[in-house]
Amino acid sequence: MGRQRRVTLADVAARAGVSSSTASLAYSGAGPVAEPTRQRVLAAAAELGYAGPDPLARSLRQGRTGVVGVVIGERLLDAFRDPVSVALLDGISAELTPLGSALLLLPGDTRAAGQPPERVALYPLDAMVFAGCDDEHPLIAHVLARRVPAVAVEGPRRPELPIVDIDHLGGSRQAAEHLLQLGHREIAVVSLPLTADTRRGPVDPARRAACTFALCRDRLRAVEEVLGPTVRIVETASNLVEEGELAGAELFESSPRPTAVIAQADLLAIGVIRAAAKAGLRVPEDLSVVGFDGIDSSGWLGSEQLTTVEQPMYEKGHVAGRMVAELVAGRRPADVTLPVTFRVGATTAPPAA
Amino acid sequence: MGRQRRVTLADVAARAGVSSSTASLAYSGAGPVAEPTRQRVLAAAAELGYAGPDPLARSLRQGRTGVVGVVIGERLLDAFRDPVSVALLDGISAELTPLGSALLLLPGDTRAAGQPPERVALYPLDAMVFAGCDDEHPLIAHVLARRVPAVAVEGPRRPELPIVDIDHLGGSRQAAEHLLQLGHREIAVVSLPLTADTRRGPVDPARRAACTFALCRDRLRAVEEVLGPTVRIVETASNLVEEGELAGAELFESSPRPTAVIAQADLLAIGVIRAAAKAGLRVPEDLSVVGFDGIDSSGWLGSEQLTTVEQPMYEKGHVAGRMVAELVAGRRPADVTLPVTFRVGATTAPPAA
DNA sequence: CGATTCGATCGAATCGATTCGAGTATGCTT
DNA sequence: AAGCATACTCGAATCGATTCGATCGAATCG
């Protein structure tokens, strides 16, 4: 006996004594079908062990799969460790699930995956979400060429893609002004990665100019507007506490030692605070630290509140999800920029005299 | 002008003056095509703005989409907050990405999604992974009926599904014996959810018997074998630090107050330790706490090490990923049970005299 | 030189459904 | 009883590729 052919809707229809079009209607409910007929079809299906129309064939005909691709950051594992990314996924998912769509997690770094980008673009997708990606992410071109509708979240910033963003400029500016008003003069920035080829360490003007992450660019620009273009920047390789700690350690060994640090993310800020503790520096007495994001830091810092720029993480996800829904429905959604709130916590104070 | 029809491979073939079969070969490389011909096809494609074969049509013909569905726990958001789940996803993804497959995150709780399970089973999938699910998860029946190959990770435990599991029994037994040997007699268990309808609070025998999560069942059974069937159990609603804290608070208000707690997960253990701190109890002097999983707790607990059962989180994911690959290749992989290691940390000690 | 093989290409069948337009029987209206 | 709307069903076209077997000319072999 050879491999038996799969049971198809046509088999079911034949057994029920109806045409396959009628059998299809019995399943989809897209047209009038007499109840007895429907029962006969369902009975025939049960006898043959038919579990319903094949999703692939249906998708091909309808041109819709219910699968929405997501590229989130460069490395998936790092994204999972970042509450902001997770909140984004959750928000998108919350909007899309009721519409019958689910998220396909695509490995952000196709280079690491050892696959050419076009190999990755082979999934049957209704839409794509690029979150926190490089403006030149290799998948973007392929997705656009295939005319798969796509949205960006905080970058990539490209004219073809509608984007949901937050007020990086305003938030960062307030953070910098806050430190300035407290009297700090030696302020350093611990930044997120500037480009997709991750490096770590001090940022010189050439590197600064090469920044391809829109988010990082904006946050740097705002700080430079307030503190001047020569502000000292240390770059991290990823948005992780460990990375913040490395950057912090580097800063505290240098001289003049900064009296305040602007971290471009709360996770980095927490890392900086840890590095400070290890270097014997008290926060905020010896060092002020400002973060960005407004995550729940109680797990990391105990009860002390981080001074930070709160962004609407979930709302961002919900908006992105609704944008995807719009795109799939054939409309082009307008760009959205969500406001942020600067919140003073317990990690900033005037510098020691 | 009406909506123009999409450019298809046939259009490209016509323009290049070849048959569509040849054009297909030019793209897939599945047969010999003369280089000049191939160039002509590619040129025609470029002129028409054709970005390559439609993934859906290709998938239909080949019977393969590269999409692997994952149901991870009951709520996706909780899963993201659990390092063990995240490690699992990462491990699976690491195995599947090189094979050209990506993970489709399915909302675990289809009830919450407000969709009948069959609605959810409509995605074009090559395979499914059920991780930490209820034995009776509604999707399982549908997936099996459709003959989508599936693997289980630590439950559901069903004869139809190959499973990768860890040694829950051995690990939990060692944890219980450790406390017993230290001299503890008032030992309580803080358990993971027993069923999909989440409750919280003390577990009576009826509830105990109704447990549908294989993982939880095994871990309870091992502890009961060592400590007797009357051991006190408090159930949590999810694997979260907050939940552990609630359960701990409940235990410390009761009398006799337990001198030791076996938590079925490290996150719960951390919650219990927090509750202890709030109740003015010192760990391990006034209270011993054992966890399960072996996550990096340094973010939560400072430098003190949790006494816990370490499980190979990543290895579990890798094995699951390889099982999926086997299934997709048409083989049926053997079940795997991975060993665990009991590790004594700083959170257990003999009870106060 | 005839037979064989190989490389390149093509035509047609296939994957498994959905959907559109048409056809038929039935019931209702006047 | 003629006219007409309604409910149901069917056949055929369609979605966009891949793949199998056949064909044909050119190169290789004995």
What is the DSSP-derived secondary structure letter of residue A342?
Answer: E
Integer Cα distance of A21 and B112 in angstroms: 33
Which residues neighbour A341 within 8 Å (Cβ) at sequence distance 6 or greater?
A: A294, A309, A310
A-B contacts (CB, under 8 Å): 134
Chain B contact present for A61, CB below 8 A: no
pTM of the entire structure? 0.92
Which region holds residue A32: left if phi is over 0, alpha if psi is between -120 and 50, else beta?
beta
Q: What is the pLDDT of residues A178-201, one digit of tens each?
A: 999 999 999 999 999 999 888 999
CB-closest option in A51, A113, A124 to B146:
A51
At residue A320, the pLDDT reads 97
At residue B250, the pLDDT reads 96
The verdict on whether omega for the bond into residue A258 sits within 30 degrees of 0, i.e. cis, is no
**Mean pLDDT, chain B, as a whole number?**
92
At residue B31, the pLDDT reads 84
**How many other C-beta atoms can be found within 10 angstroms of the C-beta atom of residue B53?**
17
Among A133-142, A232-241, A322-331, name the one with the lowest average pLDDT.
A133-142
At residue A110, the pLDDT reads 58
DSSP code string of B232-244 = EEEE-SSSSHHHH
- Which residues in chain B are closer than 8 Å to A52, comparing Cβ atoms? 118, 121, 146
Residue B22 CA and nucleotide D21 C1' are separated, in Å, by: 15
Q: What is the pLDDT of residues B100-109, one digit of tens each?
A: 899 999 987 6
What is the DSSP-derived secondary structure letter of residue B98?
Answer: G
Q: Does B3 score more than 50 pLDDT? A: no
Chain A contact present for B330, CB below 8 A: no
Mean pLDDT, residues A240-261? 95
Q: What is the pLDDT of residues A116-172, one digit of tens each?
A: 555 656 899 999 999 988 888 888 988 999 999 999 999 799 999 999 999 999 999
Among B41-55, B171-185, B296-310, name the one with the lowest average pLDDT.
B296-310
Percentage of the residues of chain B whose pLDDT score is greater than 90: 79
The verdict on whether omega for the bond into residue B116 sits within 30 degrees of 0, i.e. cis, is no
Q: What is the pLDDT of residues B246-270, one digit of tens each?
A: 999 999 998 899 999 999 999 999 9
**Which of the four pLDDT bands, split at 50, 70 and 90, describes residue B76?**
confident
Q: What is the pLDDT of residues B266-292, one digit of tens each?
A: 999 999 999 999 999 998 999 999 999
Integer Cα distance of A273 and B196 in angstroms: 40
Chain A contact present for B8, CB below 8 A: no
β-pairing verdict for A232-235 and A201-202: antiparallel
